[in-house]
Structure formats: C-alpha cells, structure tokens
Copies of this chain bind each other. A is one copy, B any other.
Amino acid sequence: MSDRHTLPISEVKHLTLDKPLPLDCGEQLDGVRIAYECWGELNAEKSNAILICHALTGDQFAASANLVTGRPPWWSRMIGPGLPIDTDRFHVIATNVLGGCMGTTGPASDAPDGKPWGTRFPVITISDMVRAQIAFIDTLGIDTLFSVIGGSMGGMQVLDWAVQVPERVFTAIPIATAARHSAQNIAFYEVGRQSIMADPDWCDGQYLAQDKRPSRGLAIARMAAHITYVSEEALKRKFDRGLQDREQTSFSFDADFQVESYLRYQGHSFVDRFDANSYLYVTRAMDYYDLAARHDGRLADAFVDTPVRFCLFSFSSDWHYPPSTTREITRALAAAGAEVSYLEIETDNGHDAFFLEEPLFEDALAGFLKVNAGKRGI
C-alpha cells in the first residue's frame, strides 16, 4: 500500500445533493452525498462529459489510485490520454453508487440520528442509483452526457440512464450486463447474503455501532461470487490442479491447490475494502433489476423511439451474464428501432474480461466513441 492510503472515506471528493432523493421503495433520502472523481477538461459547451458506472465491488477511482485504500485504479487501461476513453478529448466522471461504501451515502453512512444506518438504510434499486447520478449531473450543470459507460452492474445503470432520461444520453455502452437477474444470478448472491448474515459479527446489521465486522461471512460471499466472474477455461489455464508451494497434497484442509489459495486471497483482501452491508444492498439492487417487468414484460417497450446510440459488448466465456443476455437486449433495442451495434468478444477471460487485456474490445469501444464524437463536434 502506498502512503496515499491515508484519506478517511469521509474526506474523499464529494458533493451533497440539495434536494431529497425519492426512492423506488417509497421513502426518500435527504442530504445524499455523492463521492466522485473526474479526469480531463469539461469543454465550454459541456458536451464532452462521459459518466463511468462501476460494478458491484468497484468505486469512483476508475482512472486514478484509490485515495482511501491505495489500490491502483480499476480501469486505467481504458481511461487516460490517448486511451480508448480519451481524457484529452473527454471529461470523464465516475461516482460511487448510492448504497456503496467509498464515500457516497450508503448503509455505512450516518443516519440522521448520528448513528450508522446499518440495515435501517432503505433498500435501494438500480434506478435509485441512477436517479442519484442524474441529480449529481444536474448539480454539475451538465445537460447531456456524451456517453454513459459501464460493465456488469455498471451496464445495468447504463441501460437505466437510457430508459430514465434518453434525451440526456448521446451514446450508451453497456458491457457484459443483463436487463434482469436470472434465477441463478439471484441464487449466487443469496448465498453471499446468507453468508454475511450468518456471521455472528454481523450483529443484525448493526456491527459498526458495536465496532465489529462480519469479515468471515463477507469473505465467503466474495469467494462464491468470484467463481462466477472467472471462466472454467481460465481457471484451468491459470491453475488447473496445480499445487501451492508444495510437491504433494498435504492430507489436510490447508490450501493445497493454487485455486484454493487464490480464492482465499480474493476473499480476505476484499474485507478490508468493502462494507458487508453495502454488499447486501448492492446485490439486492441487482437482484431486483428487471427492466422488462416495468414494461409489461416487453423489453423493447423500454426503449421505444430512443434517440440514444447504443454499443453493446459481451464476452464469449462470461457465464455470469452470458452473451445470450446481451443478445436479448440487442434484439429488444433493434425491435424498438434504436441505433445499436453489438460485439461479442471471443475470450476465455470470463465475466471479468472487461477489466483485462482485450484488444478487440478496446479498439471497438475507442472507435465507437471517436465516430460519435465527430457527429457531436467534439
């Protein structure tokens, strides 16, 4: 960890919404804080802004190091000068989602009574997250975003932007995502939630007030989810049945296999940077997401006459949100008469491919942005 690993979460760059935020559950939240980062200059017309929406365990530190944890930025291969999301041309903004734990209001924030919300925090939806982002963009005085881009849960937010305020989105790039969680998606996240809630240190959601952390439960949740982010082929390629620092199996419950050691590391390193209640809320928001259900089951109806230009990506070995789910969205967009392109990238990198080296994906995304920047005169 670097010496930048010093900033308390309360001091990350943020902005407080001046109006109450209405939520899908019927409640509203006052004084919502939105933590954000940005890179590149906003032009005079305010027409070159791109919003990056992060995935379940992501944050606003997409293109610069995390000031709280010291971790490197999660999308530095995509965002920067001369990179596909080119900060010489675009003003790139990333916010931490509502319900998150990197400075935006969430279950780890203080409630009006001065104590942490914990599970008293209202259950939120993907649309609530986007509603908060819209209010944030309003506050910046930006009318239309040149693009909204995100992978996985970020892609759900992209879709929701295009549905909630289509006239304010010039282009939209949903990556490796779904318009609804399948039963299997829900099942995996339910295992994670049950694992957190089964940890005695969860304290019925009030662990912060008791200075405890359900770290064991959260680590298990992360391990279970992480398996779904990696393809079976990649696990075989990377680990197969390779042993960890030993010549033969130990006849014990140690991490004999490299894949065990890798998974345990994924679990244990996660608990230092993520709030367990946030994990409950954000996975719940994903499980609740069902864009078609809001339109009598017809996904195309969500996009009728949309002016948004879409470019969708999926990855062949992604079994978390398989290509079939993105094809379904693409078909619905086409049926709604939208301008849409879709690229399925052949790779064994699984769901996490969009974080990794995927030249075809990077080139196509860069090209789509460049062509549309021309149309927009940027």
Contact = CB atoms under 8 A, between A and B. Distances in A.
Contacts of A187: 223, 227, 235, 259-260, 263
Interface string A294-328: 00000000000000000000000000000000000
Copies of this chain, tallied across the complex: 2
A227 B224 CA distance: 11
Given A199-B198, A223-B191, A259 B217 contact: no
CB-CB nearest 9 A-B residue pairs: A198-B216, A183-B235, A123-B251, A25-B251, A183-B259, A183-B239, A190-B260, A184-B232, A191-B223
B220 A284 contact: no
A200 B186 CA distance: 27
A183 B236 contact: yes
Interface in A173-220: 180-184, 186-188, 190-191, 193-195, 197-200, 216-217, 219-220
10 contacts: A183-B259, A187-B227, A190-B257, A190-B259, A191-B223, A191-B224, A197-B253, A198-B217, A198-B220, A241-B293
Interface residues of A, number: 53
A155 interface: no
A64 interface: no
A194 B219 contact: yes
Contacts of A264: 190, 194
Contacts of A227: 184, 187-188, 191
